Amino acid sequence: MPAGRNGATGALSARLRLEMVEKQIRARGIHSAAILSAMQVVPREEFLPIESRGLAYKDQPVPIGHGQTISQPYIVALMLELLGLKSTDTVLEVGVGSGYAIAIISRIVTRVYGIEWHADLAIHACERIQKLGYENVVVQQGDGSQGLPEKAPFDAILVSAAGWSIPDVLRRQLKIGGKMVLPVGKKYDIQKLLCIQRVSKERFIEKEHGSVRFVPLVGSAGWDSRLAPQVKSNGTLPKLIHEVAIPFDDIYGDHLDGLIERIGESRIVLIGEATHGTSEFYTIRAAITEQLISRKGFTIVAIEGDWPDAYYINSDLQGNKEHRQEGFIPFGRFPIWMWRNAETARFLCWLKSYNSQIKEPEDRVLFAGLDIYSLHSSMTAVLRILEQIDVPLANKVRARYECLTPWEEEPSDYGRAVLSGIRKDCEEQVLSVLQELLEWRLQLNSNGHKKSDLMNLLQNARIVANAEEYYRSLYCSSTSSWNLRDQHMFDTLNQLLEGNGGTSRAVVWAHNSHIGIASATEMGKRGEFNLGQLCREAFKEKAYHIGFGLNGGVVAAASHWGGKLERKKIHPAISGSYENIFHESHVPRCFLPLREPARKEVCEELKESRLERAIGVIYRPERERSSHYFHAVLPEQFDEYVWFDTTKPVTPLPEVESHGAPDIFPFGL
């Protein structure tokens, strides 16, 4: 047995590998017994830097040095399944990296050769392979884009780096009937996964298998140095921003007048944030919202938070404390500081005072949550309301909800249980509850029940139904689960608008990743949409999108999911990123109108796709680039951009006891 693979550590690694294979690989449609078996055997942590080994069984790429990454497990499995490997095959891998993929291949085929451009990576890959005792592997340093003609032809070739075209020299090293899988793209951030089969001496068949993102293939037949991605020069753009941006000092100053004028008659104003823990973002968002309410008549404030928690607070804001659930702690689970902070509390105090001056209850401003994560508390709310209206119906609903009861504390386990076949899904039960309540709505209205109570009942029933689908999809596709969540947010926003009359207007508070327009970012290239995109499609120019950015300072965030709140220093923005450009403009704080810019050339200059930063409730500065940056086109993503060069963290309110395991926020956003 290789060193370090015994005892408790080896047992834990084996368990985590099994979970990875079941939840990330098999559950997402990889069926090759050979691949599944190999991935259960090969210890991925052995191919990672020591400081990154805690990420070994996360389905994500991890940096390994020299600007390279180890691919996420699912992508490795997908590429190998497309190759259709057989035990008698001889295989070539181009771009060995740390050696993980070639180690997997070695457990499936007779012989595998690998070429790695970077000498250090090639040496360390050899050492790891030898340590694990895999004797049918040969790794050498060299120009992988030229293949290995002295060992050709190959039954299969795996290219683990992206070429700007298909290297002819590689495909001609395939046997007749052999396959090559590689990512190809004319742009570094837009790549397609191709499977190429050689069917005769001169004929090749190509099939496309979705979008991917890989580091560039280097070498004589790889990325041309003129086409390879370079750090973009900021040129004169910082100077241009300095000239046209609208600077400000005091967050509550007169500078908001211009923004309110630019917002005009918009019905929806979506106000973002680049982190979930920056005081300035929360404070200016509240200041803008107060102006929209008091001067423009906005009647809804909808947040990226859970409905039952916001409803509890809204009851107090409306002066209806008798409708609040006793013992309920709003926003009492991780990440507590996201809404339980002094900045949000100040705004809620202002809103309560504002509402107290409005005589008619229907004219008061609503505070509502748009998110989908309240499975347990929404089930509880449905039953509590029904017990006051119709006890027999409450008992019937309780019986149907019992299907989900075992998963109340850890809903993510429900999705895993369904995907692994341990449990049948609860879709029919939760949908039948929602359907029956919708059909019963007219009868409930005629019995004199309050409109707000009925809306609360139906919304919680919708959340249970949508959350059930969300957790079922969570381990099948990150794109599907993300889209379900943001579709739910949009539907909830629409219901709030419809429920408050045709003249109602809403302010939305959520992360940039939700309120910007996804099609202007790499999210759109992955097939993801978001709340902001859905609002733009539905409300056209009546939706106004405000994004935020920062360069440095301190942020309130955790190091891992469920971790303690830390005040973490933010790394300066990466060279060539939008944030770096704004930092070099030497404007400490500013607004930059993008829908109607003061000078059109500023938007033309900003339209080139660049990196943009996103920090959620988790901040990992040690993996700054891979965890917190994505490509975007800023003027197509937002109508206005608010910049703070240096920021401070939110001030959390005293913590409260939180029960149960955390739900899953994709990417902590």
- For 435-485, the pLDDT digits (tens) are 888 888 766 655 656 777 888 999 999 999 999 999 887 766 666 789 999
Partner residues linked to 552 by β-bridges: 646
Distance between CA 640 and CA 548 in Å, rounded? Answer: 9
88, with CB counted inside 10 A (0-12, 13-18, 19+), is exposed
Between helices 279-296 and 256-263, what is the axis angle to 10°? 60
pLDDT of 656 above 90: no
Q: What proportion of the chain, given as a percentage, has pLDDT over 90? A: 64
Question: 246 and 592 in contact (C-beta within 8 Å)?
Answer: yes
- Whether the CB-CB separation of 381 and 408 falls below 8 Å is answered with no
Domains of the chain: 7-212 (3.40.50.150), 237-370+479-650 (3.40.1660.10)
* Res 225 pLDDT > 70: no
Span 111-161, pLDDT tens digits: 999 999 988 899 999 999 999 999 999 999 999 889 999 999 999 999 998
3-class DSSP state of 409 = coil
Contacts of 357 by beta carbon, 8 Å cutoff, 6+ apart: none
**CB contact at 8 A, 291 and 260:** yes
Q: Is 504 a catalytic residue?
A: no
Q: For residue 23, give the DSSP letter.
A: I
Contacts of the segment 17-26: beta carbons below 8 A, 24+ positions apart: 17/41, 17/42, 17/43, 17/44, 17/57, 19/57, 20/44, 20/57, 20/59, 20/73, 22/416, 22/420, 23/416, 23/419, 23/420, 23/475, 24/59, 24/73, 24/74, 24/475, 25/73, 25/74, 25/77
| Cα 489 from Cα 370, distance rounded (Å) | 5
Residue of 476, 470, 409 lying closest to 662 (CA atoms): 409
**Per-residue confidence band for 506, with pLDDT thresholds at 50, 70 and 90:** very high
| CA dist., res. 450 & res. 622, Å (int) | 52
Look at residue 430 in the predicted model and tell me its pLDDT: 92
CB 312 within 8 A of CB 325: yes
In 509-651, which residue ranges form alpha helices assigned H by DSSP?
Answer: 512-515, 522-525, 531-539, 578-584, 600-606, 624-628, 634-637
Of 66-75, 228-237, 471-480, 613-622, least confident by mean pLDDT is 228-237
pLDDT at 631 over 90: yes
Q: Between the CA atoms of 237, 240, 241 and 245, what dihedral angle is there, to the nearest 10 degrees?
A: -170
Q: What is the pLDDT of residues 189-223, one digit of tens each?
A: 568 899 999 999 999 999 988 778 787 888 776 76
Of 61-75, 93-107, 251-265, 607-621, give the lowest mean pLDDT range: 61-75
The 3 state secondary structure assigned to 32-92 is CHHHHHHHHHCCHHHHCCHHHHHHCCCCCCEEEECCEEECCHHHHHHHHHHHCCCCCCEEE
pLDDT in tens, 278-319: 999 999 999 999 999 999 999 999 999 999 999 999 999 998
Q: Which of 13, 32, 71, 609 is catalytic?
A: 71
> What average pLDDT does range 357-366 have in this prediction?
94
Q: How far apart are CA 285 and CA 270, in angstroms?
A: 10
Answer whether residue 531 shows pLDDT above 60.
Answer: yes
Rounded CA separation 150/115 (Å): 13
